[in-house]
């Protein structure tokens, strides 16, 4: 194990597929940013995924943000229901705040 300078412990790398599985198990609502749509993200609860990181989201909602990156009351949202997102279209998966 490699120790970090400054007294920190060993750093463990978490595989992306393991983090997606954790979101699935805990039913965490996630925000998924898409590669070709920088002003749009999809929020929902992961109910399934595969080895290509294709995601199935339930209660999905598409949210378009303004040019300044704000998604407040002015953001346009659209309910999608259960949705499949292809893994190669996904840029970022994070817990929704």
DSSP state of 89: G
Among 76, 34, 30, residue whose Cα is nearest residue 57: 30
Instruction: Output the pTM of the full model.
Output: 0.79
How does pLDDT run across 84-95, given as a tens digit for each residue?
999 999 999 999
How does pLDDT run across 26-66, given as a tens digit for each residue?
999 999 999 999 999 999 999 999 999 999 999 999 999 98
The bridge status of strand 40-49 relative to strand 29-34 is: antiparallel
CA-to-CA distance for 52 and 12, rounded, in angstroms? Answer: 23
The correct answer on CATH 1.10.287.950 for the domain covering 16-95 is no
How many angstroms from the chain centroid is the CA of residue 30? Answer: 5
**pLDDT score at 12:** 87
Residue 55 Cα distances to 9, 63, 77, angstroms: 33, 17, 20
């Amino acid at each position: 194990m490699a120790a970090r300078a400054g007294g920190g412990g060993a750093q463990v790398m978490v595989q992306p597929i393991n983090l997606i599985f954790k979101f699935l198990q805990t039913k965490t609502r996630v925000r998924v940013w898409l590669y070709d749509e920088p002003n749009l993200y999809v929020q929902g609860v992961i109910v399934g995924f595969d080895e290509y990181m294709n995601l199935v989201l339930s209660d999905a909602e598409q949210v378009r943000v303004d040019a300044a990156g704000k998604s407040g009351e002015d953001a346009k949202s659209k309910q999608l229901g259960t949705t499949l997102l292809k893994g190669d279209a996904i840029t970022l998966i994070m817990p929704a705040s």
